[in-house]
Amino acid sequence: MAESIAHADRRPPGVLGHRIYSALLPVSITCFIGALITDIVYSRSPDMMWLDFSSWLLLAGLVVGGVAGVVLIVETIRSRARRKGAWTAHALLFLAAWVVEVFNSFVHTRDGWTAVVPTGLMLSILAVVLALLAGWFWQSATHRVAGDL
């Protein structure tokens, strides 16, 4: 019983907000990873289809990430609690990844090869690293490690 109470204290505020955000965050990160993969494939092939895939994955990741960001902001404001450490690192890293992907989406609107190589590919790599770090900090903020019990 005490273990579950201590575990609940580390969770973000709002049960519904937590569930929605926990469902949306991996979708956004997965779309960003998919965009990186399709950027790599496009840089090695002449087929424009991969550029279209990247653009659609970026759009999906940005829309889902935007909704997740709104849920995160609303639940943080509703909690009236100051979140520190892993929570703050997660929020800042996810925001940074989202902003980088917005710029990446603009870069992907160029025509042909320059839409991906080299700027789009570098932005995709940077955003994926930031998003994966944000996901790691999210897990740190919401789940106890066995040694912490």
pLDDT of residue 74: 85
Instruction: Please tell me the distance from the alpha carbon of residue 100 to that of residue 130, in angstroms, as a whole number.
Output: 9
Tell me the pLDDT tens digit for each residue of 26-45.
999 999 999 999 999 999 99
- Using a 10 angstrom Cβ sphere, with 0-12 exposed, 13-18 middle and 19 or more buried, the burial of residue 1 is exposed
Residue linked to tokens 């160029």: 110
Confidence band for 75, pLDDT divided at 50, 70 and 90: confident
Q: What is the mean pLDDT of the chain?
A: 85
The whole-number pLDDT of residue 38 equals 97
Higher pLDDT, 11 or 102: 102
CA nearest 23: which of 68, 78, 73, 57? Answer: 68
| Domain, as residue range, for 32 | 2-148
Cα distance between residue 12 and residue 83, in whole Å = 9
Q: For 19-30, what is each residue's pLDDT tens digit?
A: 898 999 999 999
Instruction: Give every CB contact of residue 12 below 8 A, 6+ residues apart in sequence.
Output: 18, 21, 72, 75, 76, 79, 83, 87, 141, 142
Confidence category of residue 146, pLDDT binned at 50, 70, 90: very low
Please report the pLDDT score of residue 81 as a whole number: 61
Q: Which is nearest to 121 in space by CA: 38, 28, 29, 26?
A: 38
Number of structural domains (the chain) is 1
| pLDDT digit string, tens, across residues 79-133 | 766 667 788 899 999 999 999 999 999 999 998 888 899 999 999 999 999 999 9
pLDDT band at 140 (very low <50, low <70, confident <90, very high): confident
Global confidence as pTM: 0.83
Can you give the pLDDT at residue 88? 86
Contacts of 3 (CB under 8 A, 6+ apart): 149
